[in-house]
Amino acid sequence: MTGVPDLRIGIVGYGTMGRAHSYGYRVAPIVSSLPMRPIVKVISGRDEAGVAAAASAYGAEGWTIDWRDLVARADVDMVDICTPPGTHAEIAEAAAAAGKAVLSEKPLGTSYAQAHAAWTAISRAGVRNAIGFNYRRVPAVALMHRMIADGTIGDVRLWRAIWLSDEFTDPATAFDWRFDRAIGGTTIADLGSHLIDMALWMVGPIEEVSAQSETFIRTRPSAHGDQPVTIDDASSALLRFTGGARGTIEMARLAVRRPCDFSVEVNGTRGTLVFDYPRMNELLYGDAGDAPGLYGMRRIRAEHPSHPYATLGWPIGQGIGYGETFVNQAVDLVNAWPSGAWTPNFTDGLAVQAVCDTMERSADEKRWVSVSEITKDPGI
């Protein structure tokens, strides 16, 4: 890209998310004519050899082992937080104090209090902010949202979602931050936050929940002996939406041979929509107005130029993959710089965190819990 200014980005964290976000910034100018060129000026990580190798592989111009140095740099316009959840709020608050725009991976924190502190800092500083609910940018999911908003399926009555993973099925998997609630957050907050965001985005506010959780493998091996696991392996909940709809949600990391499988279904007064991530370029649609002889679901290929994000991808029939969700995210953020709306943002992240905490309290106390019980006392 020539003749356009640079949007200078500092990425905190070089793991899977740091890699994914870097990919998004590198590819975005290839698929869209942008008003600015997103470049990763610097990437940070605690391991010197690891972050140096990542910077070279990802195309970052430089690296540091101290994220505070990254935040303080005058040549960084936006801080992109790709670290474990328990660190998100602290980094976001520091970036806000430095006057930097902030993109944080989800969840916003490991508690509503943390998320509220980050949201407050961002709001007071008046800096641009976004949260990485990248699955909103799957074309089929965005089409699902649009069809609900357009009234295609009528009034929403039921919403349901599951997210199944097998990453923790082996009891020999070593203890790390993912099993520490203070750093990694719960399975509800990690996997469930994506689904909760879709529920709020598609249907509206959630009023109350009744949840259950279980930790099936209660210790994990480490160099210092077995360590207690402080997160849930699996959780589920019943949902009551403020608008009257009902819902269910389930998330688990012990589902054998389910690598990263999530699905979302919405039933309305005039139709049904179903998204299944393993078939991420497709959306199922059932129309109550169809002739009886056409009873069933039609499969929409969410690749037509009239569909959301489809013009950023390949011709019809080629589809997209996981990486393109981050490309689409980068395109949206850069196109809206410096004055357009960034969405989803920290306000959305705070709303999601409130529902996560509500589910966690409900599971602990074995009762229906209102979201207002969480939001009325942010704990600060």
Predicted confidence (pLDDT) at residue 340 exceeds the cutoff of 70: yes
Confidence of residue 377 (pLDDT cuts 50, 70, 90): confident
DSSP letter assigned to residue 283: E
Q: Which of 102, 135, 168 is the last residue of a domain?
A: 135
- Looking at the fold, whether 147 and 265 belong to one and the same domain comes out as yes
Q: What are 281-317's pLDDT values in tens digits?
A: 999 999 999 999 999 999 999 999 999 999 998 999 9
Q: What are 93-140's pLDDT values in tens digits?
A: 999 999 999 999 999 999 999 999 999 999 999 999 999 999 999 999
Angle between helical axes of 112-125 and 346-365 (0-180°, round to 10): 160
Q: Which of 321, 339, 367 is the last residue of a domain?
A: 321
Q: Which domain holds residue 100?
A: 6-135
CB 44 within 8 A of CB 67: yes
- Looking at the fold, whether 56 and 107 belong to one and the same domain comes out as yes
Query: Residue 169, class by beta-carbon neighbours within 10 Å (0-12 exposed, 13-18 middle, 19+ buried)?
Result: middle
What percent of the chain has pLDDT above 70?
99
Q: Tokens 């985005």 correspond to what residue?
A: 201
Q: What are 144-192's pLDDT values in tens digits?
A: 999 999 999 999 999 999 999 999 999 999 999 999 999 999 999 999 9
Predicted confidence (pLDDT) at residue 238 exceeds the cutoff of 70: yes
Q: Which of 91, 114, 135 is the last residue of a domain?
A: 135
Q: Tokens 């992240």 correspond to what residue?
A: 349
What CATH number did the domain enclosing 179 receive?
3.30.360.10
Confidence of residue 239 (pLDDT cuts 50, 70, 90): very high
Q: What are 244-291's pLDDT values in tens digits?
A: 999 999 999 999 999 999 999 999 999 999 999 999 999 999 999 999
Residue 280 resides in a domain: yes
Residue 329 resides in a domain: no
